[in-house]
Amino acid sequence: MNKSADATEAFDIAIVGGELLTISNDMSKISDSFIGISDGKIKLVCSAKEMRGSVFFAKKTINANNMVVMPGFVNTHAHLAMSCFRGIADDMPLMKWLHESIFPLEKQFVDYDMVYYGSLLSMAEMLLAGITTCADSYFFEEAIVKAGIEAKIRLIVGKGFFDPPNIDSVVVEKIIAIAEKFVTRCGNISDLIVPAIFCHSPYSCSPQVMKALKNVARENDILFMLHLLESADENKIVFDRYGQSPVELLLVNDILDKKTVAVHGVYLNANEIDIFAEHEVKVSHNPQSNMKLACGVAPIARMKKANICVGIGTDGATSNNRLDMFSEMSTTAKLHKVSALDATILPAQDIVRMATIDGAKVLGIDSLVGSIEVGKLADIIIVDFNAPHLTPVYDYYSHLVYCAKASDVYATIVNGSIVVFNNEVKTFDVASVINNVNKLKNVITSHYSV
């Protein structure tokens, strides 16, 4: 047990009852649990029984009877603003989809307002689905930061970089200056916001730009994220251009370290898995995106065997098309079983860890969030198990992975603030955001034939 505070202590929030899944190292569980939260942090974790007879004060008490209490989900990869394009281009191969739909759409319609409203829309979807942290990778990041602070969601904000047409040392210096300015501006704006660098991919960013931006990331001790080996084409494109594979390119340019997050990694071979393991590179696995775009199945079981830390990501709403860790968990578990023809691969408990604490490790914030332990930040969700599809319960992890849905999330707490309660977003007006996104959609459809 984790009881570490005086029983007469006052809390901002007390969560009483429920089945607590701590997702700590020992995966300890407490039936009929008690959690005390103050100043955004978890102050007390014990059984409700231990509190019997004690006097405690709480500004807000949540009764979690017949519910599961667990850390919020960590979404390791998304492009939040792209929810404005949700479902506009489906059932197309990756490169055609990118070059004939997504890039032209982005060129024409992405601006501050679109990113702001699209991000808020995605934040509503994520918070309602129990996602408390998201690593975003996009453009107009001031709009994302503004949306995140309003929504009260924890964000890693990856400023996105593509190569401009003609790269020389002057251009590289300008890019470095832009990145540094972003990190400085974003670094101290809120407890909820952590800046990061996002290079789109080794086929759209040159080695000199990636190297320069990795240096900015390293100097500021922040994450460097990039799409890597999402499709089979990528190896050939990069090799034809540089005479090296994407992973070789990253290795010789000193880009691979424990603060680099490779998103997708579908075509990582055995040798590259060893290189990743040696350099402690992190991986964001986006199974539903990889399936829908027919990219392939990332060798996740082999990565985990090599002790690579793997989190789960939803990707953007154009490639998935939703931001829902429950469906990602279910799909991750099933996809790797069927692809290895081995039903014992990635059991439910491992999947829940991937969606919480392992995601936090991927993003370098596992000392702060990802499990429910005294001293950690209070990023907590409460999942209501009082439903036919969650009855009966033999194993809570099994139900979280194979049965539960986003709509079962009763409450979402981020940094000690209740942001979703009784399935409703409390921090901003979702109806008004839906309205604004629908207006943007009307502009898009009047200029773009679906």
| Among the listed residues 82, 121, 300, 411, the single contact to a second copy using CB under 8 A | 121
Give me the least distance between CB of 424 and a second copy, in Å please: 12
Query: Closest by alpha carbon to 418, among 8, 14, 10, 5?
Result: 14
Give me the least distance between CB of 165 and a second copy, in Å please: 29
**Using the rule CB under 8 A, is 285 a contact of a second copy?**
no
**Using the rule CB under 8 A, is 97 a contact of a second copy?**
yes
Give me the least distance between CB of 88 and a second copy, in Å please: 5
| Cα–Cα distance measured from residue 413 to residue 382, given in angstroms and rounded to the nearest whole number | 9
Q: Pick out residues in 232-271 that bind a second copy (CB under 8 A).
A: 232
**Using the rule CB under 8 A, is 422 a contact of a second copy?**
no
Which residue number, 35 or 312, has a Cβ lying nearer to a second copy?
312
Give me the least distance between CB of 335 and a second copy, in Å please: 7
**Using the rule CB under 8 A, is 108 a contact of a second copy?**
no
Give me the least distance between CB of 231 and a second copy, in Å please: 9
Task: Specify whether the CB–CB gap between 7 and 51 falls below 8 A.
Answer: yes
Task: Specify whether the CB–CB gap between 299 and 263 falls below 8 A.
Answer: no
**Using the rule CB under 8 A, is 411 a contact of a second copy?**
no
Give me the least distance between CB of 395 and a second copy, in Å please: 5
| Among the listed residues 5, 92, 172, 237, the single contact to a second copy using CB under 8 A | 92
Which range binds a second copy by CB under 8 A, 47-55, 119-127, 184-192, 302-310? 119-127
Task: Specify whether the CB–CB gap between 76 and 135 falls below 8 A.
Answer: yes
Give me the least distance between CB of 265 and a second copy, in Å please: 15
Which range binds a second copy by CB under 8 A, 172-180, 256-264, 286-294, 362-370? 286-294
Give me the least distance between CB of 272 and a second copy, in Å please: 20
**Using the rule CB under 8 A, is 403 a contact of a second copy?**
yes
Give me the least distance between CB of 56 and a second copy, in Å please: 31
Site size toward a second copy (CB under 8 A) is 74
**Using the rule CB under 8 A, is 391 a contact of a second copy?**
yes
Which range binds a second copy by CB under 8 A, 56-64, 270-278, 358-366, 398-406? 398-406
Three-state SS annotation for the chain: CCCCCCCCCEEEEEEECCEEECCCCCCCEEECEEEEEECCEEEEEEEHHHHCCCCCEEEEEEECCCEEEEECEEEEEECHHHHHHCCCCCCCCHHHHHHHHHHHHHHHHCCHHHHHHHHHHHHHHHHHCCEEEEEEEECCHHHHHHHHHHHCCEEEEEEEECCCCCCCHHHHHHHHHHHHHHHHHHHCCCCCEEEEEEECCCCCCCHHHHHHHHHHHHHCCCCEEEEECCCCHHHHHHHHHHCCCHHHHHHHCCCCCCCEEEEECCCCCHHHHHHHHHHCCEEEECHHHHHHCCCCCCCHHHHHHCCCCEEECCCCCCCCCCCCHHHHHHHHHHHHHHHHCCCCCCCHHHHHHHHCHHHHHHCCCCCCCCCCCCCCECCEEEEECCCHHHCCCCCHHHHHHHCCCHHHEEEEEECCEEEEECCEECCCCHHHHHHHHHHHHHHHHHHCCC
**Using the rule CB under 8 A, is 367 a contact of a second copy?**
no
Q: Pick out residues in 213-232 that bind a second copy (CB under 8 A).
A: 232
| Among the listed residues 348, 368, 372, 419, the single contact to a second copy using CB under 8 A | 348
**Using the rule CB under 8 A, is 80 a contact of a second copy?**
no
Which residue number, 379 or 408, has a Cβ lying nearer to a second copy?
408
Which residue number, 170 or 341, has a Cβ lying nearer to a second copy?
341
Give me the least distance between CB of 278 and a second copy, in Å please: 29
| Among the listed residues 342, 367, 424, 447, the single contact to a second copy using CB under 8 A | 342
Which range binds a second copy by CB under 8 A, 25-33, 71-79, 322-330, 411-419? 322-330
Q: Measure the CA angle with vertex 87, ends 430 and 93; round to 5°.
A: 145
What are the φ and ψ backbone dihedral angles of 229, each rounded to 5 degrees? 50, 50
Which range binds a second copy by CB under 8 A, 44-52, 72-80, 143-151, 405-413? 405-413
**Using the rule CB under 8 A, is 445 a contact of a second copy?**
yes
